[in-house]
């Protein structure tokens, strides 16, 4: 058992904070005697979970709800926190990739793409998987996991720059004759970069291309737009329907 003073000293949580947690029913000491409050090992585990959840941005009210429906032991509690930390890392990594992409795009376009900014704002409020929900009609769960992993871990700054460059090169040359060799080379460069990004997974690329033609905005496909998509389709048609997306 730990007195409130000893628990405060060992954890760095002030006595005032511990009293407040007791007051709102978040962490109740196992016993209250004339000698003061005494906390059990279970109470310490509860405090450890509260601090972890608070660190990850949950409000005290949310934490209370989480703990109310939990009967986890130490090992299960730690495992749950590890999973929460992993999800937070994934979300932050996706945010990092998205912000890098927007930063590079502003340098290229000289303006802010507001639909992308709105997508980023949504990422601050939801799990990474939510960013791909629009595409679930076109992608299987396994394919969505591949795309998510690509966004949160497999794309380097150089990958992002290369992707923006091949799309940007097409946008700069929309005036080209679709039958020209230069137009074809632009689309081949785009297709090669797409192959690289998605690990030469032909089925995934086909499904992504179908989704891309229906959803032109979003973090997953930025900065593809209708003009770029139509250019690629015109070039493919001029070459006898060659499939550049696989």
Convert the pLDDT of each residue in 77-127 to its tens digit: 678 778 878 877 777 777 776 677 667 667 766 776 666 666 665 555 556
Do 138 and 166 belong together in one domain?
yes
- Print the domain residue range for 111: 86-238
**String of DSSP letters for 126-156:** S-GGGGGGGGTTTS-HHHHHHHHHIIIII--
Last residue of a domain, one of 71, 101, 128: 71
Average pLDDT score over residue span 45-58: 82
Do 230 and 169 belong together in one domain?
yes
User: 6-15, 74-83, 126-135, 142-151 — which one is most confidently predicted on average?
Assistant: 6-15
Do 25 and 98 belong together in one domain?
no
pLDDT given at position 235: 93
Confidence of residue 231 (pLDDT cuts 50, 70, 90): very high
Q: Does residue 40 carry a pLDDT above 60?
A: yes
Query: Does residue 34 fall inside a structural domain?
Result: yes
Per the confidence metrics, is the pTM higher than 0.75?
no
Do 99 and 56 belong together in one domain?
no
Q: How far is residue 205's CA from residue 197's CA, in Å, rounded to a whole number?
A: 10
Choice among 20-24, 58-62, 141-145 with the minimum mean pLDDT: 141-145
Do 105 and 55 belong together in one domain?
no
Indicate the helix (H) or strand (E) that contains 3: strand 2-3
Query: Does residue 32 fall inside a structural domain?
Result: yes
Do 56 and 158 belong together in one domain?
no
Q: Does residue 201 carry a pLDDT above 50?
A: yes
Query: Does residue 79 fall inside a structural domain?
Result: no
Confidence of residue 243 (pLDDT cuts 50, 70, 90): low
Do 55 and 92 belong together in one domain?
no
Last residue of a domain, one of 48, 71, 94: 71
Last residue of a domain, one of 19, 38, 71: 71
Do 107 and 226 belong together in one domain?
yes
Confidence of residue 246 (pLDDT cuts 50, 70, 90): very low
Do 215 and 174 belong together in one domain?
yes
Do 57 and 98 belong together in one domain?
no
Work out how many domains the chain is built from and give that number.
Answer: 2
Please report, for the domain that includes residue 36, its CATH number: 1.10.1660.10
What are the structure tokens assigned to 228, written together?
A: 């770029």
Q: How far is residue 96's CA from residue 151's CA, in Å, rounded to a whole number?
A: 9
Do 106 and 217 belong together in one domain?
yes
Confidence of residue 200 (pLDDT cuts 50, 70, 90): confident
Query: Does residue 80 fall inside a structural domain?
Result: no
Q: Does residue 51 carry a pLDDT above 90?
A: no
Average pLDDT value over all residues in the chain:
78
In the chain, DSSP finds a helix count (H) and a strand count (E) of 11, 3
Average pLDDT score over residue span 145-152: 66
Query: Does residue 78 fall inside a structural domain?
Result: no
Do 145 and 232 belong together in one domain?
yes
Query: Does residue 81 fall inside a structural domain?
Result: no
Query: Does residue 76 fall inside a structural domain?
Result: no
């Amino acid at each position: 058992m730990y007195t409130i003073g000893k628990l405060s000293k060992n954890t760095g949580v002030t006595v005032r904070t511990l009293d407040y947690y007791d007051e709102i029913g978040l962490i109740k000491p196992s016993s209250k005697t004339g000698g003061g409050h005494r906390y059990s090992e279970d109470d310490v585990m509860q405090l450890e979970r509260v601090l972890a959840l608070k660190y990850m941005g949950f409000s005290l009210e949310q934490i209370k709800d989480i703990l109310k429906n939990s009967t986890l032991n130490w090992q299960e509690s730690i495992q749950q926190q590890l999973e929460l930390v992993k999800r937070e890392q994934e979300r932050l990594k996706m945010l990092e990739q998205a912000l890098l992409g927007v930063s590079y795009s502003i340098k290229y376009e000289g303006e802010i793409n507001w639909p992308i900014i709105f997508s980023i704002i949504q990422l601050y409020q939801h799990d990474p998987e939510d960013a791909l929900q629009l595409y679930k009609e076109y992608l299987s769960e396994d394919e969505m996991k591949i795309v998510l992993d690509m966004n949160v871990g497999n794309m380097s700054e150089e990958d992002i720059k290369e992707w923006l460059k091949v799309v940007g090169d097409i946008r700069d040359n929309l005036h080209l004759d679709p039958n020209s060799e230069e137009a074809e080379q632009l689309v081949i460069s785009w297709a090669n970069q797409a192959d690289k990004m998605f690990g030469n997974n032909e089925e995934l690329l086909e499904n992504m291309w179908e989704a891309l033609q229906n959803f032109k905005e979003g973090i997953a496909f930025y900065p593809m737009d209708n003009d770029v998509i139509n250019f690629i389709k015109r070039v493919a048609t001029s070459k006898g329907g060659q499939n550049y997306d696989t």
